[in-house]
Structure 1
Amino acid sequence: MIWQYLLLVMAAWNVIVLILYGIDKWKAKHDRWRISEAALLGSAFCLGGAGALFGMTVFHHKTKKWKFRILVPLSVVLQAAVVYGILPR
């Protein structure tokens, strides 16, 4: 039962991370104070990898930076391992 709650929390967090990437892209276009790369990558590695990858794809944001092209997909793999680990067998 707790694994269902954890999956729901992870899904909500991924939506928040997606929104963070969208906000940062908007700020980049409007020459505003930006969200740091460390915060964006950190949010991806704190179980928000899918939201980060989706945000990169939808908003075409940070797609040319090698750190993001390598680390965000890696965070998705790690997140998938965590999900696999918490699912009941």
Structure 2
Amino acid sequence: MLIYFILINLVSYMVMGNDKRKAKQGKWRIRESTLWLLALIGGAVGNWVAMQTYRHKTKHLSFKYGMPVLALIDLGLLVYFS
């Protein structure tokens, strides 16, 4: 379970960083639904850390408030099932 959590959060972090890079370059972006899907399957912590690192999606209220809540839920589930 811990290995899955680490891997999904690394993937989420990299995908969010990739989306920020694409945004700066004016290229086609990664769908928000994909970012949320990664968060829902356990990658919310990685998404939230990437949001803070890259200053990405921080003005979107759903990301600003939803991602930290989902990250706390993910961490709680990790503790509960570990």
Q: Hey, what does 1:36 align to over in structure 2?
A: 31
Equivalent position amino acid for 1:14 in 2: N
- Please list every run of 5 or more consecutive structure 2 residues that lacks an aligned counterpart in the other structure: none
Residue 62 in structure 1 maps to residue 57 in structure 2: yes
Runs in 1 of length 4+ with deviation above 6 angstroms? Answer: none
Q: Hey, what does 2:10 align to over in structure 1?
A: 15
Q: Which moved further from structure 2: 48-57 or 78-87?
A: 78-87
Render the CA deviation track for 1:22-44: whole Å, top value 9, x for unaligned: 00000000011100111111211
Identity of aligned residues (%): 28
Q: TM-score, normalised by structure 2?
A: 0.94
Task: Work out which of the two has the higher radius of gyration on C-alpha atoms and give 1 or 2.
Answer: 1
**Structure 2: distance between partners of 1:41 and 1:63:** 14
- Please list every run of 5 or more consecutive structure 1 residues that lacks an aligned counterpart in the other structure: 1-5
Aligned length: 82
How far apart are residue 64 of structure 1 and its match? 0.5
Render the CA deviation track for 1:11-32: whole Å, top value 9, x for unaligned: 0110110000000000000011
Equivalent position amino acid for 2:70 in 1: S
**Structure 2: distance between partners of 1:73 and 1:46:** 14
Q: TM-score, normalised by structure 1?
A: 0.87
Q: Hey, what does 2:70 align to over in structure 1?
A: 75
